[in-house]
Structure 1
Amino acid sequence: MATVNRTSTKNEDGTVSVNKVVTNAAGESRTMDKTITKTEDGRSVTGSYSSSTGKSGTFEKEVVRQDGVKTVNSSVTNQDGQTATHNATVTHADGTVTRTVTNTGFKGQTITRTQTGTVDPVVEAEPVSTEEVVVS
């Protein structure tokens, strides 16, 4: 059975530091340390990871919400200096949601996909009666 130990600390400067250790049933462990910073229009995350199997690296992520658009840009650099990236943009406009994602792997392969969907407007429900109902 896997175990997860996680601690979070809110720092004086407003950032949050997180330490997480996951140990699997075979006794192998992964440690992750990250700092989360709230920004004017989103948040940023920076950190590092290491494992008992010798894997390690750094990561960063930025999330920005502005004018109906959410943008997520993240990257991971491994112990060999290879970098993988994930970039996503989600746009909400006129009842349509469009999501475009571009992923580039550690070996340089890039995949881009776009999804579009429509959103039905929210229909306001009738208020629920607060009268007590007695069934005999």
Structure 2
Amino acid sequence: MRTVGVEEELLLVDPETGEPRAMSAAVLARAARDDAEQDVFEKELHEQMLEFATRPQSSMESLHAEIVRCRAEAAGHAGEIGCAVAALATSPLPVSPSIGVSPRYRWMEEQYGIAIREQLVMGCHVHVSVDSDEEGSGSWTGCGPG
């Protein structure tokens, strides 16, 4: 049976102004305090972002419920420290992104320069289980020319 999981990056914002806030460490600390075994939320490239990952689900109804639950938990943790979450592709307001301190993020900054330093872009990733490496690397049909 196929399973599907979603990773979504949320923008952390001031609840009054909508301005992005570099509060991911505080939100993650709050989440860990509320649930020491929480494994849903993670840091992301910019400190204005919070990522969650659903557990793999076998139906779209259960995946929907899992996304709603994760967003609600993220909103609750953020609200407890004075910010809010927004599911947006980027900030509609000007921002100077704060890059996380991990070696991976510093490498990305070196490789991609201005795009990492000045762009605050959130993503949503969908993961689908496959039966084999061969199936996972198979060709797509109906996508693009040819």
More helix by share: 2
The answer to whether the superposition gives a TM-score over 0.5 is: no
RCO comparison, higher one (Cα < 8 Å, 6+) = 2
Larger Rg over CA atoms: 1
How does the TM-score come out when normalised to structure 1? 0.28
